[in-house]
Amino acid sequence: MEAKVAGSASMSLGDEIVRRINALAAISETSEHLTRIFLTPEHRAAADLLMTWMREAGMQAHLDAIGNVCGRYEGERPGLPCLMLGSHYDTVRDAGRWDGPLGLITAISCVGDLNRRGRRLPFAIEVTGFADEEGVRFASTLLGSRAIAGTFDESALGSRDRAGTTMRQALTLFGLDPDHIGAAARAPGELLAYVELHIEQGPVLEAEKLPVGVVTAISGATRLAVELRGMAGHAGTVPMALRRDALAGAAECIVAIEEFCCTDRDGLVGTVGYINAMPGATNVIPGMVSFTIDIRTAKDSYRKLAVADIVRQIEEIVKRRNLKLDINVTHENRTVPCAPWLKQQVADAVAAEGFHVFELPSGAGHDGMAMIDIADVAMLFVRCRGGVSHHPDEHVEDADADAGARVLLRLIENFKPKA
């Protein structure tokens, strides 16, 4: 049991949160970088630590059928519908320690504060650590929140990671039953609302000199997997004019994507985050290249047009270079608005804690994009240094972690279900 820090409850909240962020960050695939991927041993160790903290906070805690960590703090009487809080506990590769865990640990610490004060509310509180928001291991993402929302696509069980392991096999190895994922789905009406605290992952709050912000909407995203096939060959003997170089073709596609997105089109952003060239030898012309594309803009209709335009450009490059193309959408999420009635309660809590109410959209995706199918959603952003995220330099000042906790606790204690 951790020693409770003296001082006001919210100061101990901030201290406790930062200490736990650092403790959780130590659970990683390697000691050099923070990487915690879905259904790995470090994923399980993190789940166990989170359940320990949930139980210390007075919650019942369990792992659900897809590996979400689920904590429940009963209301004035058992079985009441809940205000669900939480965030994800998986990370990207070489990640920062705040993306996901800040929202999850802050929610656990807020419940711990209520528990220490013996406070019970006219609703239950549930805190969920979503198992896979980043979608690093298997192409599809939001797996944990989709399972809870009842929208998990069973066909994803056949998707393979880079080692060729299927999600089905990984779930089984993790000790879960892939044919039982449906049991994670919650019935509509069990949740009064879903509220997530998260780092902004952008520079706006820092520019505004504000510790917290109220999210208006979560931008939609489209992810695609591309495979180009040409002809492997000897780097020293095949004349340039006779080559079908898959990597040179991929390079032309990647530059075309960047140029298309740079023409300042309604906040359109495009990223190629992963590429793999085969056979991967210095003296062999690459015969096969696979890469990923991530396209985002807040306007769904515009994003669909942009994706179609980019695919058309890739098809033209591939044809001209006499390559074979295989391109699939692996993830598609519409832009999700935060519910006005709930967003207002986040804003009221920000104001009640003495902070300026500032609204901003989220360019990053979050589990609320799946949770919207089962409950209204809202988000509270916390400033992060330089807006840096998905990077080991990601950082939140102690005072901002404490500010976020104070606002979330205020929101919880003043929460009114939708009339």
User: How far apart are alpha carbons 182 and 212 in whole angstroms?
Assistant: 36
H/E stretch holding 224? strand 221-229
Pairing of strands 221-229, 377-382: unpaired
Measured in degrees and rounded to the nearest 5, phi and psi for residue 223 equal -115, 140
What track of x and - describes contact with ligand HGY for positions 78 through 117 (by CB under 6 A)? ----------------------------------------
- Answer with the entry of ligand HGY, Mn ion, none that 100 interacts with (C-beta below 5 to 8 A by kind): Mn ion
* Smallest distance from ligand HGY to CB 57, Å: 26
**Residues whose CB falls within 8 Å of the CB of residue 168, separated by 6 or more in sequence, listed in order:** 157, 158, 178
Cβ distance to ligand HGY smaller for residue 213 or 365: 365
100 binds Mn ion (CB under 5 A): yes
User: How far apart are alpha carbons 70 and 84 in whole angstroms?
Assistant: 10
Among positions 133-162, residues that touch ligand HGY (CB under 6 A) are 133-134
Cβ distance to ligand HGY smaller for residue 186 or 223: 223
* Smallest distance from ligand HGY to CB 375, Å: 20
User: How far apart are alpha carbons 82 and 126 in whole angstroms?
Assistant: 6
Structure tokens belonging to residue 385: 């240094």
Structure tokens belonging to residue 247: 């990597």
What track of x and - describes contact with ligand HGY for positions 316 through 355 (by CB under 6 A)? ----------------------------------------
Residue located via tokens 């515009």: 302
Measured in degrees and rounded to the nearest 5, phi and psi for residue 331 equal -160, 135
90 binds Mn ion (CB under 5 A): no
In 3D space, the residue among 67, 34, 275 whose CA is nearest the CA of residue 167 turns out to be 67
- Answer with the entry of ligand HGY, Mn ion, none that 144 interacts with (C-beta below 5 to 8 A by kind): none
- Answer with the entry of ligand HGY, Mn ion, none that 103 interacts with (C-beta below 5 to 8 A by kind): none
Sign of the C-alpha dihedral computed for residues 108, 114, 115 and 120 taken in this order: negative
Looking at 100-108, 173-181, 212-220, 248-256, which segment touches Mn ion (CB under 5 A)?
A: 100-108
99 binds Mn ion (CB under 5 A): yes
Cβ distance to Mn ion smaller for residue 100 or 129: 100
What track of x and - describes contact with ligand HGY for positions 359 through 378 (by CB under 6 A)? -----xx-------------
Q: Is 366 helix (H, G, I), strand (E, B) or coil?
A: coil
- Answer with the entry of Mn ion, ligand HGY, none that 365 interacts with (C-beta below 5 to 8 A by kind): ligand HGY
Size of the site for ligand HGY (CB under 6 A): 4
Structure tokens belonging to residue 73: 């703090």
Residues in the chain: 419
Cβ distance to ligand HGY smaller for residue 42 or 133: 133
67 binds Mn ion (CB under 5 A): no
User: How far apart are alpha carbons 123 and 262 in whole angstroms?
Assistant: 47
Cβ distance to ligand HGY smaller for residue 71 or 220: 220
Q: Which stretches of the chain bind ligand HGY, using CB under 6 A? A: 133-134, 364-365
